């Protein structure tokens, strides 16, 4: 590829980058305006007066509680998903037993179940065991729904692990639990980083399950808490913009810091070692 080819390639990438970054810049400007500026002027105009009070307003109105709920629910669900998926993938790929392929198939069926088709059965189940309006219903649901995709990503990596490592550990007297937690699990760190980011983005942005299972403000997450700023007669759009910026920022920062791990994990699970 000559210089002209490289120039055209980078020009196209620059255009794509502008289109990707522009909505974030627009959202930040949107969050610094009031309703009059938002509706009376061009949506692309700079704010006449920077209104940082929009951020102060949403934080004082309880957005901190929603933010904290999003953090701990997302964190626990991601950790549980990675742990359960890693153990299940290890048992299916590294141990010989008759029903391994059947069990793997049952896990993969989860990829074909739409979220909305499971809402009523899940609501009935959680209502029976008194977990409605309880954040643990959200943690359990996130963990279960993310298992299939997490295991699918882990499978390619586990199949490439050399069995000589396990044999050497067993000869040295390592138990099955020590083999998994001390040897196998640390070796899967790159692909675990990838699945952690994917799970975190889904959990953080999820709306349907929280809106269905949670009714108390003290348990709501950011995605559902935004509705509190939409009134019957008046909506504070600047406050909604500030809330959206606060909700997007953690995921954006996490992806920027761990993007190399994501690429490394995808490469290591797709290319045989």
Two tokens at 224? 């559902």
Q: Quick check: 268 pLDDT over 60?
A: no
Of 25, 90, 94, the C-alpha closest to 248 is 25
Averaged pLDDT score across all residues of the chain: 85
Per-residue model confidence (pLDDT) at position 86: 94
Q: Tell me the H-state helices in 95-206.
A: 100-109, 119-128, 135-160, 163-171, 176-178, 185-187, 189-205
Q: Identify the band that residue 237 occupies on the pLDDT scale cut at 50, 70 and 90.
A: confident
Q: Identify the band that residue 15 occupies on the pLDDT scale cut at 50, 70 and 90.
A: very high
* Cβ atoms < 10 Å from Cβ of 119: 16
Which residues are 230's β-sheet partners? Answer: 235
Please tell me the distance from the alpha carbon of residue 273 to that of residue 252, in angstroms, as a whole number.
Answer: 31
Q: Quick check: 4 pLDDT over 60?
A: yes
Contact 262, 194 (CB under 8 A): yes
For 247-267, the pLDDT digits (tens) are 888 888 877 777 666 666 555
Task: Tell the CATH topology of 63-270.
Answer: MetI-like fold (1.10.3720)
pTM greater than the 0.85 cutoff: no
* Cβ atoms < 10 Å from Cβ of 128: 9
In this predicted model, which residue has the larger pLDDT, 39 or 43? 39
Per-residue model confidence (pLDDT) at position 271: 47
Q: Quick check: 219 pLDDT over 50?
A: yes
Per-residue model confidence (pLDDT) at position 259: 67
Per-residue model confidence (pLDDT) at position 76: 97
Compute CA 80 distance to the chain's CA centroid, rounded to the nearest angstrom.
13
For 149-186, the pLDDT digits (tens) are 999 989 988 888 888 888 888 888 888 888 899 888 98
Per-residue model confidence (pLDDT) at position 50: 86
Between helix 189-205 and helix 64-94 the angle, nearest 10°, is 140
Per-residue model confidence (pLDDT) at position 266: 57
Per-residue model confidence (pLDDT) at position 264: 61
Two tokens at 153? 């990503």
Q: Identify the band that residue 233 occupies on the pLDDT scale cut at 50, 70 and 90.
A: very low
For 108-123, the pLDDT digits (tens) are 998 888 888 889 999 9
Tell me the residue length of the chain.
273
Please tell me the distance from the alpha carbon of residue 87 to that of residue 241, in angstroms, as a whole number.
Answer: 41
Kindly state the average pLDDT of the residues 94-114: 88
Q: Identify the band that residue 272 occupies on the pLDDT scale cut at 50, 70 and 90.
A: very low
Share of the chain above pLDDT 70, in %: 90
Please tell me the distance from the alpha carbon of residue 53 to that of residue 207, in angstroms, as a whole number.
Answer: 27
Please tell me the distance from the alpha carbon of residue 23 to that of residue 20, in angstroms, as a whole number.
Answer: 7
Per-residue model confidence (pLDDT) at position 255: 75
DSSP code string of 181-229: IIIIHHHTHHHHHHHHHHHHHHHHH--HHHHHH--SGGG--HHHHGGGG
In this predicted model, which residue has the larger pLDDT, 229 or 102? 102
């Amino acid at each position: 590829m000559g210089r002209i080819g490289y120039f055209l390639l980078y020009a196209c990438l620059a255009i794509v980058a502008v289109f990707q970054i522009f909505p974030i810049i627009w959202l930040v400007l949107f969050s610094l305006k009031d309703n009059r500026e938002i509706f009376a002027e061009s949506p692309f105009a700079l704010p006449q007066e920077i209104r940082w009070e929009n951020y102060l307003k949403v934080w004082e109105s309880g957005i901190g509680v929603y933010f904290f709920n999003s953090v701990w629910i997302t964190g626990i669900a991601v950790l549980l998903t990675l742990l359960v998926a890693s153990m299940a993938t290890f048992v299916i790929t590294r141990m010989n037993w008759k029903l391994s392929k059947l069990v793997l198939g049952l896990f993969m069926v989860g990829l074909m179940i739409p979220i909305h088709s499971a809402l009523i059965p899940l609501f009935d189940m959680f209502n029976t065991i008194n977990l409605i309006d309880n954040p643990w219903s959200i943690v359990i649901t996130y963990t279960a729904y993310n298992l299939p995709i997490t295991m699918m990503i882990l499978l390619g990596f586990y199949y490439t692990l050399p069995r000589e490592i396990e044999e050497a550990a067993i000869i040295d007297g390592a138990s099955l639990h020590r083999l998994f937690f001390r040897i196998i699990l640390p070796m899967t760190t790159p692909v675990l980083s990838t699945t952690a980011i994917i799970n975190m983005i889904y959990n953080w942005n999820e709306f349907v399950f929280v809106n269905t299972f949670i009714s108390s403000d003290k348990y709501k997450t950011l995605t559902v808490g935004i509705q509190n700023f939409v009134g019957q007669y008046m909506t504070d759009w600047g406050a909604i913009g500030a809330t959206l910026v606060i909700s997007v920022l953690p995921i954006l920062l996490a992806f920027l810091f761990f993007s190399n791990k994501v690429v490394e994990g995808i490469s290591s699970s797709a290319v045989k070692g």
